[in-house]
Amino acid sequence: MISHSAKIVQQRIGALAKITEEPGRITRTFASPAMRRANELVGAWMRAAGLEVRVDAAFNLLGRWNSTQRGAKTFLLGSHLDTVRDAGKYDGPLGVLTAISAVELLRERGVKLPFNVEVVGFSDEEGVRYQTTYLGSRALAGTLTAADLARIEEKQIVTARRNKNEFFGYAEVHIEQGPVLEKKKIPVGVVTAIAGQSRLRVEFLGVAGHAGTVPMTLRHDALAGAAEFILAVEKCGVLATVGKIEVANGASNVIPGNVSLTLDVRDQNDSRRLAAVKALQIKAQNIAQRRGLRLNWTLVQQTSAVPCDKTLTQIFSQCVAQRGLEVLKLPSGAGHDAVALSAICPVAMLFVRCKGGISHNPAESVKTSDVRVAVEVLADFILRLAKHP
């Protein structure tokens, strides 16, 4: 039975991977037609599992299993259905599809829960379209800011806010996106905390000029300044990445006058992360001053590190141990919708081993036997929760 559902999860992962806005690679970004098609496909699987399905105003896909107990609280399961560009097929979808399968298994066994369960496919965890992240989960949590809404077209997403007292927890299954579980030869791990992150936009503004006539010593080359800054990012002491760079009006015979780049800084320790961001800002100012450039330094979004809930994490650990598996606890360097949900309820995560720890890459891969363990542990987790909600 359970291996059957693991095989179904893998088939569904493959089917969902075919839904993309960029033929030949997997890309699904917030509120795109591809995301609507993904919601339709996954929504059909939720319906087949006996869930009540709807899409909220923030384009989150919701599948609900109502308890027979009146006034019952709700436990949320799920992950995100949007992707980065040229993504792997597991980052996000694995968490939504294992949740559907775990619910399907329990319902087939005739389990009656003292609480409602809602499986969510969040609409924008990656933040590719607007460089903000967690738009869908923060809309549901009611934590969107005026700055978020100013940055997006779909302002109606703010009406997706739910009554925060409705939920008593959120659990997310997600690929580890790192090498630890594979190195330790363990299929799943229990997450202790999720790193904080700062997302910024940095612009160097110089003087565009003729590549053939302006002497090197008289240039204010924005791209050379950005390049010097990127090397400083590499040495800043925390996890820091320049993932995107744009040269305005770039041409081979024009000295770049306007360059913008994204900066992503992470750390489990918030003060260390904030100190690194500050130090990089000073570095950027010094580079700009020395090269006669102007600097625009814009904080796009900042989320603090989030500890996973001790009780829920303990339940996950017991479920892993009862399967005869070693219980490995590890932090997450990647962000997850659990960060947004932590504003309104306790959260927990279960990591699943992925080949080579590779993610945000079409080579992302998960073994069916590990999918099976994830579905089993998640189903056990829900049952244990039911014993002491």
| Contact footprint for ligand HGY (CB under 6 A) | 125-126, 133, 334-335
Closest to ligand HGY by CB, 196 vs 225, is 196
Percent helix, strand and coil across the chain, each to the nearest 5:
40, 25, 35
What is the β-pairing status of strands 196-205 and 347-352? unpaired
Closest to ligand HGY by CB, 5 vs 137, is 137
Closest to Mn ion by CB, 92 vs 196, is 92
User: Least distance to Mn ion from the beta carbon of 214, Å?
Assistant: 42
Provide the token pair at 170.
Answer: 């959120």
Say if CB 172 and CB 337 are below 8 A apart: yes
Q: 119-150 burial, b for 16+ CB within 10 Å, e for fewer?
A: bbbbbbbbbbbbbbbbbbbbbbbebbeeebbe
Partner from ligand HGY, Mn ion, none contacting 27, C-beta within 5 to 8 A by type? none
43 residue type, one letter? G
The Cβ of residue 4 has, within 10 Å, a number of other Cβ atoms equal to: 11
Closest to Mn ion by CB, 241 vs 296, is 241
Instruction: Determine the Cα–Cα distance for residues 301 and 50; give it in Å rounded to an integer.
Output: 38
Partner from ligand HGY, Mn ion, none contacting 335, C-beta within 5 to 8 A by type? ligand HGY
User: Least distance to Mn ion from the beta carbon of 110, Å?
Assistant: 33
Give the contacts of 50 (CB within 8 A, at least 6 positions apart).
65, 104, 107
DSSP character at residue 308: P
Site track for Mn ion across 258-297, x = CB under 5 A: ----------------------------------------
Length of the chain: 389
Partner from Mn ion, ligand HGY, none contacting 268, C-beta within 5 to 8 A by type? none
User: Least distance to ligand HGY from the beta carbon of 333, Å?
Assistant: 7
Give the contacts of 376 (CB within 8 A, at least 6 positions apart).
2, 323
Closest to ligand HGY by CB, 87 vs 375, is 87
Instruction: Kindly state the number of chain residues that form the binding site for Mn ion, as judged by CB under 5 A.
Output: 2
Site track for Mn ion across 48-87, x = CB under 5 A: ----------------------------------------
Tell me the sheet residues that pair with 61. 55, 121
27 residue type, one letter? T
User: Least distance to Mn ion from the beta carbon of 133, Å?
Assistant: 9
What is the β-pairing status of strands 116-122 and 74-80? parallel
Instruction: Determine the Cα–Cα distance for residues 283 and 267; give it in Å rounded to an integer.
Output: 19
Closest to ligand HGY by CB, 126 vs 370, is 126
User: Least distance to ligand HGY from the beta carbon of 239, Å?
Assistant: 10
**In a 3-state reduction of DSSP, which class is residue 276?**
helix
- Which of the ranges 90-98, 130-138, 300-308, 363-371 carries the binding residues for Mn ion, by CB under 5 A? 90-98
User: Least distance to ligand HGY from the beta carbon of 360, Å?
Assistant: 7
Closest to ligand HGY by CB, 79 vs 258, is 79
Instruction: Determine the Cα–Cα distance for residues 367 and 370; give it in Å rounded to an integer.
Output: 5
User: Least distance to ligand HGY from the beta carbon of 386, Å?
Assistant: 31
**In a 3-state reduction of DSSP, which class is residue 51?**
coil
Asked if 91 interacts with Mn ion (CB under 5 A), we say yes
What is the Cα gyration radius of the chain?
Answer: 22
Residue nearest to Mn ion (CB): 91
User: Least distance to ligand HGY from the beta carbon of 28, Å?
Assistant: 13
Closest to ligand HGY by CB, 56 vs 126, is 126
User: Least distance to ligand HGY from the beta carbon of 132, Å?
Assistant: 11
Instruction: Tell me which residues touch Mn ion (CB under 5 A).
Output: 91-92
